Amino acid sequence: MQKSKRRRKDPILQALGHAIRERRLELGLSQEMLGQTAELHRTYITDVEGGARNISFLTLLKLAEALKCSLTYLMIKIEEATK
């Protein structure tokens, strides 16, 4: 149903997904636990981590809050991964 929101995997979305996954694992959270805190479905987390979602800014913010990290932290991780 939400296929229009899925994208061909973009390197920057993949780098974002990787940074989110890495941070989640650092905190010892499952995708389900992160989803509950951020009020997002577990499968949405799976998609974001896989770089399959062009996430909106406010949803990204919710995820950063649930991951107890700043947006700047995530952007630095992306830039490190894609430079």
Q: What is the largest CA-CA distance in the chain?
A: 34
Encoded tokens for 31: 């995708």
Cα 73 to Cα 52: distance, rounded to the nearest angstrom:
21
Q: Which of 16, 20, 52, 63 binds a copy of itself (CB under 8 A)?
A: 16
Element (H, E) at 50: none
Q: Which of 38, 45, 55, 66 binds a copy of itself (CB under 8 A)?
A: 55
- Stretch of 25-33, 36-44, 57-65 contacting a copy of itself, by CB under 8 A: 57-65
Residues that bind a copy of itself in the complex, under the rule CB under 8 A: 7, 10, 12-13, 16, 54-58, 60-61, 70-72, 75-76, 78-79
